[in-house]
Amino acid sequence: MTARKRTSHSATIAWYAAVIFLSSACLLILEIVASRLLAPYVGVSLYTWTAIIGVILAGLSLGNWLGGAWADRGAGPIAAGWTLVASGAVTLLVPLVLTAIADYVQARQVSLVGASLVYVSALFLLPALVLGVITPLLTTLSLTMSSRPGHVVGTMHALAALGSICGTFAAGFYLVPWFGTRNIVVATGVALIAMGVVFLLRRPRAAFSAVVAAGALAAMLAAGNALRNPCDTESLYYCIRVVDEPTPYGEVRTLVLDHMVHSHNHAGDPELLVATYAHLMDEMMRLRLPALDVPRVFFAGGGAYTQPRALAARRPAVHIEVAEIDPAVTETARERLFVDTASMIVHDVDARIQLPLALPHFYDAIVTDVFHDVAVPYHLTTAEYADIVKSRLVPGGLYLVNLVDVFPDSKLVKAIVKTLEEQFEHVQVWLEAPPDRPGRITYVVSATDGAPFPPRISARYGLARNWYDFAEPVKDVGTPMSEIPVLSDDYAPVERLVSTLFWSQMGL
């Protein structure tokens, strides 16, 4: 082999290696974007991520097999070019397909897991399959130009893995919060088509056809609503939306995180709490904190800042600290949800990190309001976290937590109760009224070493409501307490405990 030919082959192999790296990065960018793209429809949970990873790996595996078989049958650089163009085309179709199937899937009697699988399969199975063809095809072509097959195979596999790593970091840490999911999908599709066109340049007519097809797809996207982002803001953590709600009580705005309605803020009256669980927790603090001149309250989770806002309006001298991990959520609350945080101390950090930094026995009340829909941050459910809470409360202080579970066999609620009972003398479970049929419901759990609340609490401000302590019925119905685990940092199976929400339509 002449020196010129060896140089030409080395340059070609280097180009193939670059394409393998970039196409692998594109696939992992799509995988990360998938979770945010689907968040407004099915939320983000262990089950959602399982569906995303499983379907994309299935498509990639099938594509690898097809690519190897195609290479053995003589597929060459032109085939690789058309494969890249096809991968870009099906990537550009993702927003259109989502728009086409969203209403249909949402209207069906399907579980959250089923919906997740339908969305991911319809949107990302084909892009993963087509992109899976690239690595074995280009690796095989490279082997025909090298006398070191082991080196070529090892290099191509390493670059595919490295591209996947870089795509993951780039999407998660930079692209999603700065550019938005749909823009990333379009850019990824265009980049793949551009790489394909490079392969097709030796056939100008084919290259021109690919460019025209890409332009037609871009025009379809621009003409429809497929590129309209349902999120007002896409942060590192959530798809954030604010919705104006017509109510009999006046102007109310609702914060929606992913596909969950988080809370409602009244424009003119901070103490008018529309959400029944927020109203109850506020009434509990009214009962427990009235004698204190400067009560100190820590809120794990800010969200719409509904409860801190109400407390600050009622007690201007109150000491309020909020640990809200997502600064974009806090900014949304300030700009659009009538919240003034000037009198609050806001920590942009996880409550499990912030709370241990407080002085022992400092807070009169601690409120955990972070259980957003079916995604449960397990580290804020455990005995170790309860121990931190107990150590930061004054003697007889109040701990409140709200969470979503199924009724009547509320296994997560039972586990929270069982865990808190190891730290607190009185643990009570509150509902306004039990539903008349099985379903999803929001509970409030209170824990204290002071005097327990009476079995009924009546609203003293705002909407006329009554809440009742259902601790004993909750513990007595369904799964025996002996089969319910105490949650710990080593074992907190929260997804299993609320699995009914995922495997039935209750989760949607």
DSSP string, 340-362: --TTEEEE-S-HHHHGGGSPTT-
| pLDDT in the model for residue 434 | 81
What are the pLDDT tens digits along the chain (508 aa)?
565 555 667 888 999 999 999 999 999 999 999 988 888 888 777 788 889 999 999 999 999 999 999 999 988 899 999 999 999 999 998 988 888 888 788 777 777 788 888 889 999 999 999 999 999 999 999 988 877 888 889 999 999 999 999 999 999 888 887 888 888 998 999 999 999 998 888 887 777 777 777 777 777 766 666 667 788 888 888 889 999 988 787 889 999 988 778 889 999 899 999 999 999 999 999 999 877 788 999 999 999 999 999 999 998 889 999 999 999 999 999 999 999 999 999 999 999 999 999 999 999 999 999 876 566 788 999 999 999 999 999 999 999 999 989 888 999 999 999 999 999 999 999 999 888 788 788 999 999 999 999 999 999 988 999 999 999 999 999 999 999 999 999 998 888 888 776 666 554 5
Q: In this predicted structure, what is the pLDDT of residue 502?
A: 64
Residues ≥6 apart with Cβ < 8 Å to 357: none
Instruction: Give the separation between CA 136 and CA 20, rounded to whole angstroms.
Output: 9
Q: What is the pLDDT of residue 231?
A: 86
DSSP state of 173: I
* CA–CA distance, 312 with 397 (Å, rounded to integer): 19
pTM of the model: 0.85
Among residues 284, 209, 231, which one has the least CA distance to residue 465? Answer: 284
**Three-state DSSP state, 461:** coil
229: tokens are 């982002």
Residue 223 Cα distances to 33, 96, 121, 217, 226, angstroms: 23, 11, 25, 10, 9
Give me the pLDDT at residue 507, please. Answer: 47
What pLDDT score was predicted for residue 222? 66
Instruction: From 76, 85, 68, select the one nearest 23 (Cα to Cα).
Output: 85
User: Rounded to whole angstroms, how far apart are CA atoms 169 and 379?
Assistant: 24
Q: 260, 256, 415, 254: which is closest to 337 by C-alpha?
A: 254
Domains of the chain: 3-230 (1.20.1250), 276-507 (3.40.50.150)
**One-letter identity of residue 351:** A
